[in-house]
Structure 1
Amino acid sequence: MKIPRTTSRPASRPAASRLLVLLPATVLAAGLLAGCSDEGTPDAGSSASASASADPTQQVAENLSEFSYEGEDGKTALELLEEKDPDAQVQGKGENAFVTAIRGREADPETEFWGLYVDDEMAQVGAGSLETKDGQTITWKLEEIEQ
């Protein structure tokens, strides 16, 4: 009796050999993904460590001349400003509030002030009195005091 001859492929690589090939590729891919993520990168609100380079938050503050956000029904421009920038500096309260600094950019009291605009028109009342509405754009602009 003759045993039929089958054509079969040689056995594929053993599992251990395949694992040795996949392991470095997996480690490399994980390393690349970790290097591309932004975890561990300080955000704009975090404090910078002591170094020779300038604090990026300070650079933004020096150049800031405008700050905008959307209005919300039932909230004043001042309430929303304090939500959007908890570090905003304000003198007085409520209807008598006067904004002196936004995002770390302080207006020079001799030559500048933070002007309040609603949909690109200067507000006729102060931030503590201005009831905003959904869909409005509230903008603070650093203005020069006219002498």
Structure 2
Amino acid sequence: MKIPRTASRPASSRLLALLPATALAAGLLAGCSDGGTPDAGSSASASASVDPTQQVAENLSEFSYAGEDGKTALELLEQHDPDAQVQGKGENAFVTAIRGREADPDTEFWGLYVDDELATVGAGSLETKDGQTITWKLEEIEK
């Protein structure tokens, strides 16, 4: 929006005329910015045009959080997503759903990665460390 300049208007009047436009622009920018994530250290995508919970569940294919000394990947998953679905306990735990997104048992599974490397043990056995990135990726079962 271009505000016409007139020689008869003092500078303070011109500044006051710009104030509503500046406030509008700031409001629009604030509405477009990221207001934060549901859990620090976790990531998921959602769209405002659909129920965010449903959208996350349908489109979630990756979920990450920071490792912590002395805690297992499973303990941290349950901390960051208390509703995660797990079959079995401890070393025998098998994650079947994260953030409401269930893996189709015939075609998919939740793979566990540490710093982008596939884990060699299960989530209940994997002792994490500060500075590590723990990531769950929805993967297809190779047939």
TM-score (normalizing by structure 2): 0.67
Q: CA deviation at 1:55?
A: 2.1
* Count of aligned positions: 143
2:42–2:65 CA contact under 8 A, matched in 1: no
Q: Secondary structure at the match of 1:90?
A: strand
Q: Secondary structure at the match of 1:68?
A: strand
Distance in 2 between residues matched to 1:125 and 1:55, nearest whole Å: 35
Once structures 1 and 2 are overlaid, which stretch shifts more, 87-96 or 49-58? 49-58
Q: Secondary structure at the match of 1:146?
A: coil
Q: CA deviation at 1:142?
A: 0.2
1:44–1:56 CA contact under 8 A, matched in 2: no
Q: CA deviation at 1:56?
A: 1.6
Using a 3 Å threshold, how does the CA distance of structure 1 residues 41 and 22 change in structure 2: closer, same or farther? farther
| Moved beyond 6 Å, runs of 4+ | 1-12, 17-53
Distance in 2 between residues matched to 1:99 and 1:93, nearest whole Å: 10
How large is the Cα RMSD of the aligned pairs? 10.2
Computing the radius of gyration over CA atoms, which structure comes out larger, 1 or 2?
Answer: 1
2:42–2:63 CA contact under 8 A, matched in 1: no
Structure 1: runs of 5 or more not aligned: none
Structure 2: runs of 5 or more not aligned: none
Equivalence for 1:76: 72
Distance in 2 between residues matched to 1:6 and 1:139, nearest whole Å: 59
2:43–2:62 CA contact under 8 A, matched in 1: no
Q: CA deviation at 1:60?
A: 1.2
Once structures 1 and 2 are overlaid, which stretch shifts more, 128-137 or 18-27? 18-27
Using a 3 Å threshold, how does the CA distance of structure 1 residues 43 and 54 change in structure 2: closer, same or farther? farther
Once structures 1 and 2 are overlaid, which stretch shifts more, 92-101 or 47-56? 47-56
Distance in 1 between residues matched to 2:29 and 2:59, nearest whole Å: 34
